[in-house]
């Protein structure tokens, strides 16, 4: 996560516009010539208010990796302290973890949890955060200009992941840190040897190895806001040395290269690291005060993913590596008001509205459509800081963005189907349809889940739905996220403006009509 929002937005938007045009190296012309063909087809429909969704069970996109339902925690504001961890609070358990936050996070079925940053990781010495808590040093965090107590460190993070049921994902310090420190961290977490760091973990009360599988090679090293900022060539050279040292300690770990805002960064980085890494990261923060622009940003997000996928294809074509490098979208969210439209010292505590929840659902649909390449994703962040969960001293409130994260993990299947979708589009934005859809099933084709986002601000949309290769029962459940308007938000004063309603439907079959309410997310489950 970046401390220089203006620079970040300029990089992302400039990079997104220039990604294909700025392709470097011998594959530049090839990348520029490749079309970005969406799997979800859209077109303007003549009949007003009528749209179409067609599902063919023979048209499978691929398997959805459940690691796309991950989350992110950083030592920033009230995310860790006062969020997931609050020693002495009557709401916390004996280990200091907020029980209400843990319960809410469990209901989202968080698959992977990234830590400790973010910008924070580029100046963090993990050795400060182990051992007796009262003996840990207090440090000044230069990333977010805060005091860091180090009372929450590696052991606490792993314990929280175990309670949450999430895989831990650690980002190593490639700013002020060294490759030896990174390798030592892997040893502390994963080694069973009779060596110093493994023995220190045991001495600290953790006899069994943590088996941390996912490790990021730095955070946003391309950015001037980052401690240890480097260009692509410098970063790639360092990442090779960090990665090989870490793998020499544990050959089984999965490594994530630091992806950047465009081809000029990603191509040379991946050329150098393609044999070393399993993933390359992508960060995207979006949003707008204008409805059409916010949903146009969701479409730009998808183009950004597909452009990075094209880079991966170009680099992989020059290798004999069998396993394709995947994309880890390990920071993504709406993030703009807390920089430009609020003046209080809130430490990035965004207040989300229904429009933002629809954007999040569109992002999840996009991950489903791109499941062949997006294999890991982490919403930033879990609690308080640009988060779906907000706390105070007495409880919490579930923000609007919480509900799609929960519903999708509850009901969407593990196989993505290629849905044909036709609907009207926003005026002047023919590539931004009112309807955004993903279709999923299970391995046995016993359940079809349609996740339908109606992004129209005022109009219900009637949809003709056709299904081939699947015979659904005539009735079932539909879960609808909605509120009085796109601007509706959940706050401590009014915590239930946006909620989920469970509805029943009837009359479904191989062809039927369903109306989806204005400004809503609908998760419709059809059983065979």
Pairing of strands 425-426, 429-433: antiparallel
- 520: nearest Cα among 406, 437, 447: 437
Residue 296: CA count within 13 A, CB half-sphere: 15
How many angstroms separate the CA atoms of 298 and 430, rounded? 14
How many angstroms separate the CA atoms of 453 and 438, rounded? 9
Which residues are within 8 A (CB) of 395 and not within 5 positions of it... i.e. 6 or more apart?
A: 91, 100
Q: For residue 292, give both structure tokens.
A: 């059409």
Q: Percentages helix, strand, coil for the chain, rounded to the nearest 5? A: 30, 25, 45
Q: Which secondary structure element, helix H or strand E, spans residue 432, and what is its range?
A: strand 429-433
Alpha carbon distances (Å) from 412 to 22, 72, 184, 327, 362: 37, 21, 39, 21, 14
Three-state DSSP at 304 gives helix
**Catalytic sites, residue numbers:** 220, 331
106: Cα separation from own chain's centroid = 16
Asked if 360 contacts 334 with a C-beta cutoff of 8 angstroms, the reply is yes
Q: Quickly list DSSP for 472-515.
A: --SEEEEEEEE-SSTT-B--SSSTTSSEEEEEEEE--SSEEEEE
The neighbour count for residue 79, using CB atoms within 10 Å, is 28
Q: What is the DSSP letter of 123?
A: G
Beta-bridge partners for 520: 454
Three-state DSSP at 208 gives coil
* Crossing angle for the helix pair 354-369 and 402-411, to the nearest 10 degrees: 40
How many angstroms separate the CA atoms of 404 and 500, rounded? 9
- Dihedral of alpha carbons 501, 367, 356, 432, sign: negative
Which residues are within 8 A (CB) of 448 and not within 5 positions of it... i.e. 6 or more apart?
A: 55, 413, 417, 439, 440, 441, 467, 470, 472, 525, 526, 528
How many angstroms separate the CA atoms of 223 and 262, rounded? 12
How many angstroms separate the CA atoms of 42 and 52, rounded? 10
Asked if 2 contacts 120 with a C-beta cutoff of 8 angstroms, the reply is no
């Amino acid at each position: 996560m970046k401390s220089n929002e203006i620079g970040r937005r300029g990089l992302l938007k400039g990079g997104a516009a220039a990604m294909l045009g700025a392709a470097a190296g011998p594959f530049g012309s090839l990348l520029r010539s490749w079309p970005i063909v969406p799997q979800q087809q859209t077109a303007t429909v003549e009949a007003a208010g009528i749209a179409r969704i067609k599902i063919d069970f023979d048209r499978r996109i691929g398997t959805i990796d459940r690691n796309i339902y991950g989350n992110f925690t950083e030592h920033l504001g009230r995310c860790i302290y006062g969020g997931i961890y609050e020693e002495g609070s009557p709401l916390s358990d004996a280990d200091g973890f907020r029980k209400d936050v843990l319960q809410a996070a469990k209901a989202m079925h968080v698959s992977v949890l990234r830590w400790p940053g973010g910008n924070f990781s580029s100046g963090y010495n993990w050795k400060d955060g182990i051992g007796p808590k009262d003996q840990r040093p207090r440090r000044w965090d230069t990333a977010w200009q805060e005091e860091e107590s180090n009372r929450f460190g590696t052991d606490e993070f792993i314990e929280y992941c175990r309670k949450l049921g999430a895989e831990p994902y650690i980002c190593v310090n490639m700013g002020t840190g060294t490759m030896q420190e990174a390798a030592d961290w892997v040893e502390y977490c994963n080694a069973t040897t009779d060596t110093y760091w493994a023995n220190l973990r045991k001495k600290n009360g953790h006899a069994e190895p943590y088996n941390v599988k996912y490790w990021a090679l730095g955070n946003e090293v391309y950015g001037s806001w980052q401690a240890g900022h480097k260009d692509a060539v410098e970063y790639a050279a360092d990442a090779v040395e960090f990665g090989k040292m870490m793998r020499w300690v544990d050959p089984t770990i999965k490594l994530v290269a630091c992806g950047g805002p465009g081809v000029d960064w990603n191509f040379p980085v991946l050329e150098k690291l393609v044999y070393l890494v399993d993933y390359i990261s992508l960060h995207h923060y979006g949003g707008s005060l204008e409805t059409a622009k916010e949903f146009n940003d969701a479409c730009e997000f998808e183009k950004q993913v597909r452009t990075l996928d094209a880079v991966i294809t170009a680099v992989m074509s020059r290798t004999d590596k069998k396993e394709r490098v995947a994309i880890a979208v390990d920071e993504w969210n709406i993030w703009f008001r807390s920089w430009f439209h609020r003046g209080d010292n809130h430490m990035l505590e965004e207040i989300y509205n229904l429009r933002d929840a629809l954007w999040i659902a569109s992002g999840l649909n996009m991950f489903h459509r791109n499941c062949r390449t997006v294999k890991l994703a982490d919403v930033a962040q879990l609690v308080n800081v640009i988060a779906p969960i907000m706390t105070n001293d007495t409880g919490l409130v579930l923000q609007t963005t919480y509900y799609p994260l929960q519903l999708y993990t509850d009901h969407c299947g593990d196989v993505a189907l290629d849905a044909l979708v036709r609907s009207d589009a926003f005026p002047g934005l023919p590539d931004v349809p009112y309807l955004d859809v993903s279709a999923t099933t299970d391995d046995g084709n016993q359940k079809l889940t349609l996740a339908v986002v109606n992004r129209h601000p005022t109009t219900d949309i009637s949809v003709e739905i056709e299904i081939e290769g699947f015979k659904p029962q005539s009735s079932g459940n539909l879960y609808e996220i909605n509120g009085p308007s796109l601007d509706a938000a959940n706050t401590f004063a009014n915590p239930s403006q946006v909620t989920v309603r469970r509805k029943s439907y009837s009359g479904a079959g191989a062809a039927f009509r369903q109306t989806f309410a204005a400004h809503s997310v609908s998760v419709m489950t059809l059983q065979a």
